Amino acid sequence: MSKVKTGFFCQNCGYESAKWLGKCPSCQQWNTFVEELIQKDTKKSAAADWDDYHGNGSTSKKIQPLHLVKTKEHPRLVTIDAELNRVLGGGIVPGSIVLVAGEPGIGKSTLFLQMGLQLQDVVTLYISGEESEQQIKMRADRLNILNENFFLLTETSTQTIFNEIKKLKPQLIIVDSIQTLESPFIESAAGSVSQIRECAAEFQQFAKETNTPVFMIGHITKEGSIAGPKLLEHMVDTVLQFEGDRHYAYRILRTLKNRFGSTSELGIYQMNDTGMNAVANPSEILITQKEDQLSGIAIAATIEGQRPLLIEVQALVTQSVYGTPQRTVSGFDLRRLQLLLAVLEKRGGFHFGVKDVFLNIAGGLKVEDPSIDLAVLCALLSSFEDVAIPHNICFAGEVGLSGEIRAVNRIEQRIAEAEKLGFEKIIVSKYNQKGTLKQRHNIEVITMGRVEEVYRHLF
């Protein structure tokens, strides 16, 4: 009989210790260590032997020089969903393992059930440890997509799952969710650090040896990070975060890690009765269609990954009735806002120290691109002066501490997007003028170098 070993695992980062510790040496969190049983079994893992999965015979490993390794091109599996193809770097890579995390009820299961049903020529296996076959069938009926190559398996034991996989030999696997699976070789409860690590390792071995892509849907903690050990994110090839407010119809699929593409891509979806619909032109939905001119609103030309976006920045500046003025932001960095307010105080003489400031990025987006600095600053000035900015002007520029407007990258794409949406003027840094020719655009490109020039031009 094999020896049973007990270990202590940090529930926050997965750090393993031989004894209980009050503070985790890795992530510095307190009271996160939980004792778990680890069964050291001499039997092979459930996913250990995939030699004959594709009928190729033995695949023994041996040392060989790098220049003698033979490579062959595996075309990506391109889905109907253009947004998913974008965040994955152009399609699903054979043998890749993708982790998708998001809040409960955000639409993760709906999105990937829809993706599997749309791949008509691909044998897809959907493994669910959370829902019954009837629940999944009800969701599929709502999506109204028929696919005879789509198969279901409601099971949580990895040994049973891999036995069924060997019979079906699917070309794509979706696991919903990795926290519900348990390996018979680990004596811990499903969802514990050691179980998540072991189950993910078995699927990783399966994906690499059979060249089958695997999507693993994961949970998140109450702090918003992906549940389970940090090792889980290191093991997989791609990490996608599905975010958005459940009270809004729009969802954002963001790339956090991608070994096969850019990590700054995002896809935007709209939730409705028929599932997740990709939004082809998000700039139109992120800008409020209004008839009246309102103060405190400016349009910023930003870029997320390879995609240019026009977003609406809303600011409200009011007289403070308390001793300490409030600074409230949504979708923007609070410290960046304080920096811009300090620039306006020092370089422009505006007394924001006695004002409450509220800032919001419309549509529920979280923006980190510094090119929206100029739009934020203009929205603040517009609300401060209570003068509306003309609706046909947008902005693209970073603001420095000395009050200068700095150049931003890929200005041509931003100008083209603004022109496509019908804007007549765009204010950019004069240091972008070297690569920008006015006659190439039907939109008027206004170049400025200082914050004071923008204020005089607008107000």
Residue after which a domain boundary falls, among 251, 280, 309 = 280
CA distance 138 to 257: 33
**Structural domain boundaries enclosing 401:** 285-458
Residue after which a domain boundary falls, among 280, 302, 320 = 280
168 and 209 both lie in a single domain: yes
Partnered with residue 189 across adjacent β-strands are none
Whether residue 51 is contained in a domain is answered as: no
261 and 290 both lie in a single domain: no
272 and 298 both lie in a single domain: no
Whether residue 63 is contained in a domain is answered as: no
Partnered with residue 307 across adjacent β-strands are 304
Residue 16: name the closest of 254, 192, 243, 248 by CA.
Answer: 192
Q: pTM for this one? A: 0.75
Q: What is the pLDDT of residue 305?
A: 76
Report whether 170 belongs to an annotated binding site: no
35 and 180 both lie in a single domain: no
Whether residue 181 is contained in a domain is answered as: yes
Report the amino acid identity of residue 317: V
Q: What is the pLDDT of residue 353?
A: 87
CA distance 412 to 432: 10
**What's the number of domains the chain is made of?**
3
293 and 421 both lie in a single domain: yes
Report whether 325 belongs to an annotated binding site: no
254 and 148 both lie in a single domain: yes
314 and 264 both lie in a single domain: no
Query: β-strands 250-258, 238-243: how paired?
Result: antiparallel
370 and 297 both lie in a single domain: yes
For 36, residues 6+ apart whose C-beta sits below 8 A from its C-beta are 6, 7, 8, 9, 188, 192, 193, 194
Whether residue 24 is contained in a domain is answered as: yes
The order of strands in the sheet holding 97-102 is: 150-154, 124-128, 172-176, 214-218, 97-102, 238-243, 250-258, 266-272, 275-278
Report whether 109 belongs to an annotated binding site: yes
Partnered with residue 447 across adjacent β-strands are 428
How do the pLDDT tens digits run along the chain, 459 residues long?
A: 455 677 888 887 888 888 899 999 988 889 888 887 766 554 454 445 666 665 554 456 788 899 888 877 778 999 999 889 989 988 999 999 999 999 888 889 999 999 999 999 999 999 999 899 999 999 999 998 889 999 999 999 999 999 999 999 999 999 998 999 998 888 778 888 888 888 999 999 999 999 999 999 998 887 778 887 788 898 999 999 988 766 667 788 889 999 998 887 888 888 888 888 888 777 877 777 666 788 999 999 998 877 888 999 999 999 988 788 999 999 999 999 999 999 999 988 888 888 999 999 987 788 888 999 999 999 999 999 999 999 889 999 999 999 999 999 888 889 988 988 889 999 999 888 665 555 567 889 999 999 999 999 998
Report whether 75 belongs to an annotated binding site: no
Neighbouring C-alpha atoms within 13 Å toward the C-beta of 326: 14
**Residue 205: enclosing H or E segment and its boundaries?**
helix 193-210
CA distance 366 to 370: 12
Tokens of 213: 């892509």
CA distances to 290, 300, 316, 352 from 456, rounded to whole Å, are: 26, 19, 21, 19
Report whether 107 belongs to an annotated binding site: yes
Report whether 331 belongs to an annotated binding site: no
